[in-house]
Amino acid sequence: MKKTKILYIAFISIFLLQIGCTEPFEIETLDYESVLVVESTITDELKPQIVKLSRTSTLESSAILTENDATVIITGNTGESYSFSQDVETGVYISNEAFSAQPNVLYTLNIKTSNARNYSSSTISLTPEVAMEKVFVERVVDPVDNKDGVQVLVTTKDPTGQSQYFRYEYEETYKVIAPYPSSYTFEIINFDVKNYTYEVVVTPREPEITCYTTELSTGIIQTATENLNDNQVLRFPVRYLSKEDAKLQTRYSLLVKQFVQSVEAYTFYKKIKELGSIQSLLSQSQPGYVRGNITSENDPDEKVLGFFDASSVTSKRIYFNYEDFGLEKPPYFVACNKLVLDYRDNSTLDNDPNEREIIYTYLKHFDYQIVDYGQPFLFTIAKQECSVCTSFSSNVKPDFWVD
């Protein structure tokens, strides 16, 4: 086999694949080839649609090389045309106007890169809509797979038999409550290096106790019913959470999205998923290239990675708490403990640390926060993640949230 690695690091990142490895290893690129990476699934949702463009990077690099300053247009065979502009912050291309893919319309994606290379997709059409029947949660205890937690499952059926290929994404939102909320901000002033003296100016503030975090799914989650007699997606697992997962600490919500796919899209993503392990990706027998439906108009032999698709989408949101399934409260995101320290302690004895120095070090260098203090000398401090939830989450309650 030709010893060329078509570099999938950026490609797999764009397609939201996670590649796991238990031991560190060194990878060296034998021959680097810059390949355009395209990902876009327009849907029947009325919204700004998205096209993602990037370039492959070397295997030694995990960087995503955004393809900048491209001209991106989606056209329909009934005369409509939608232009896209690149978002400065994310690098993705967003349609200048909201639109939804319509039935019986053939869509084409056209791209012109900044170096005047032209690319186009094959024509695609919107898949039929199939609503999810049920999204539900069950307790799972499976010693064989070392599982003990909860599993989110989906059941779907298309009585017409027209839709047989389904892909799933989810948005998980979970509530975060700081164990030791801080009611103070502080400033360290007048620090004397020689005597290790300083002053702490403490100012009351509204404690940031409750936050909400939303995260998107990664990886390819899809299934097919082509070989099933009843054409039914039955109890398909889309999300597993261990009983030790801190996301279950308080209240958890999952929005499951179901995309009805064409057979071509399903096959493409299936092949990409098969490349999603270290063993297959680095195997000398692995061809390292999956042809999608994007081609170069300048050179038909040029390799282009990616797929342009139009999918109908339905979604359902569920909420649950760990108590609903007889689980104990899982541990917090980080180990939390409070330290009560005396600013007057200036001990220099062996095995008797100077608490005044500890206070300064933890507040100044380790981002600890003041949870409480007894004027003028006792300070109770804790990790920032344990005392100020906005240090890693958001205190803005989502509009959809239900307690």
Token output for 325: 């399934």
Residue 277 has pLDDT above 70, yes or no: no
Cα dist. 137→91, 133, 313, 330 in Å?
36, 14, 21, 18
**33-81 pLDDT per residue, tens:** 788 989 999 999 999 999 999 987 765 556 678 999 999 999 999 999 9
* Cis amide linkage into residue 376, ω under 30° from 0: yes
- Top-confidence residue, 297 or 375: 297
Please report the pLDDT score of residue 377 as a whole number. Answer: 83
Please report the pLDDT score of residue 161 as a whole number. Answer: 82
User: CA angle 74-14-255, nearest 5°?
Assistant: 85
Please report the pLDDT score of residue 293 as a whole number. Answer: 96
**What is the DSSP-derived secondary structure letter of residue 97?**
S
Q: Which residue has the tokens 């920032």?
A: 384
pTM for the structure as a whole:
0.85
**103-150 pLDDT per residue, tens:** 999 999 999 999 999 999 999 999 999 999 999 999 999 988 899 999
Please report the pLDDT score of residue 56 as a whole number. Answer: 79
Q: Where are the alpha helices (DSSP H) in 216-354?
A: 263-274, 278-282
Residue 283 has pLDDT above 50, yes or no: no
Element (DSSP H or E) covering residue 167: strand 165-177
Token output for 377: 């000398």
Given a contact cutoff of 8 angstroms between Cβ atoms, the answer to whether 245 and 152 are in contact is no
Please report the pLDDT score of residue 7 as a whole number. Answer: 40
157: nearest Cα among 259, 209, 234:
234
Please give the single-letter amino acid code of residue 166: F
Residue 18 has pLDDT above 90, yes or no: no
CA 76 to mean position of chain CA atoms = 31
What is the pLDDT averaged over residues 313-331?
97
Please report the pLDDT score of residue 354 as a whole number. Answer: 85
Residue 376 has pLDDT above 80, yes or no: no
What is the pLDDT averaged over residues 274-289?
45
d(CA 52, CA 36): 10
Residue 205 has pLDDT above 70, yes or no: yes
Give strand ranges (E) for 101-227. 107-112, 118-121, 132-142, 147-157, 165-177, 184-192, 197-204, 210-216, 221-224
Token output for 65: 């090389």
- Top-confidence residue, 198 or 349: 198
**219-254 pLDDT per residue, tens:** 899 999 987 767 889 999 999 999 999 999 999 999
Given a contact cutoff of 8 angstroms between Cβ atoms, the answer to whether 381 and 370 are in contact is yes
| Per-position b or e across 380-400, b if 16+ CB within 10 A of its CB | bbbbbbbbbbeeebeeeeeee
Given a contact cutoff of 8 angstroms between Cβ atoms, the answer to whether 46 and 99 are in contact is yes
CA gyration radius, the chain: 27
Please report the pLDDT score of residue 344 as a whole number. Answer: 83
Confidence band (pLDDT; 50, 70, 90) for 348?
low
Element (DSSP H or E) covering residue 86: strand 81-86
Token output for 251: 């209240």
d(CA 98, CA 117): 27
Please give the single-letter amino acid code of residue 313: V
HSE on the CB side for 47, CA within 13 Å? 9
**387-398 pLDDT per residue, tens:** 999 999 999 999
Please report the pLDDT score of residue 288 as a whole number. Answer: 61
Query: Which is it for strands 36-43 and 304-321: parallel, antiparallel or unpaired?
Result: parallel
d(CA 203, CA 182): 11
